[in-house]
Amino acid sequence: MKLSHKTKSSILIILIIAFGATILVINNAWADDLILPSIHMGLEKSGDPGDVSVLLQIVFLLTILTLAPAILILMTSFTRLAVVFTFLRQAVGTQQTPSNQIIAGLALFLTLFIMMPVWQKINNNALQPYLNEEISQGDAFKAAITPIRTFMFGQTREKDLSLFINMAKMNKPNNKDDIPTSVLIPAFVISELKTAFIIGFVLYVPFLVIDMVVASVLLSMGMMMLPPIMVSLPFKLMLFVLVDGWNLIVGSLVKSFIGG
């Protein structure tokens, strides 16, 4: 039996009224027992200086977390590794293989491996004493920044340091302790970029020779319409595999930081 449109509308209205009545009954029954949370946010006067100190520490911690990616990229070995791997991919001519995610992941874990001695010094000399309330926050920061500064000084050229010291219009420093971290970081970054570009040039040379040889052979055979990159790619991959390229490059990069 089919229901008319008017009958269907009447049934729908009845169901809506019944549902609303049920909600009202449940609301009246639970009104006394139902507890809703309230959130209060505002600025109030504090009589305890410790509350203000804790608030400032939280703000400082959030700021550090915001700057954590920049600290990871610009104050560690990540810059050199990522740039070299990008140059390597372009030199081989594999387009997007390995992908950016793989390159970033490999550079990240190699950075953790290279920087592990620095992290251990920070943990032993700064973090653990601060957590055990043996040193103050200021002393912990100084103890934590010292191993990082030592690492960056070991990879920074004097010419780059002199550039930023002159631009900052500073007096000639007597030792490394007189150079502020704000001057050391940009000098370290451009030193890393220069080193990465030099390594990238060295990586390009053998693959460029293969491209030139293949292009010359194709031109002499009259196969000018065939892209040389398509023919040279298998030879470049074969060369890279035969010399165990990943082992050679990764090993050389790690040794350039930690020696050995």
Token code pair at residue 120: 């251990």
Which pLDDT score, from 0 to 100, does residue 178 have? 84
pLDDT in tens, 25-70: 545 554 455 454 554 445 555 555 545 456 666 776 777 677 777 7
User: Which position has the higher pLDDT, 23 or 136?
Assistant: 136
- Residue 13 vs residues 4, 9, 22, 23: alpha-carbon distances, Å: 15, 6, 14, 16
Find the length of the chain: 260
Task: Read off the pLDDT of each residue in 120-138 and give the average, rounded to a whole number.
Answer: 83
Top pLDDT among 44 and 240 is at: 240
The torsion angles phi and psi of 180, rounded to 5 degrees, stand at -70, 155
Q: What would the pLDDT profile of 141-198 be if each residue is shown by its tens digit?
A: 888 888 888 899 888 998 998 899 888 888 888 888 888 888 899 999 999 999 999 9
pTM of the model: 0.70
pLDDT of residue 39: 47
Spatial distance between the Cα atoms of 160 and 157, rounded to a whole number of angstroms:
5
What are phi and psi for residue 32, nearest 5 degrees? -80, -25
C-alpha distances in Å from residue 91, one per residue of 31, 228, 252: 71, 14, 18
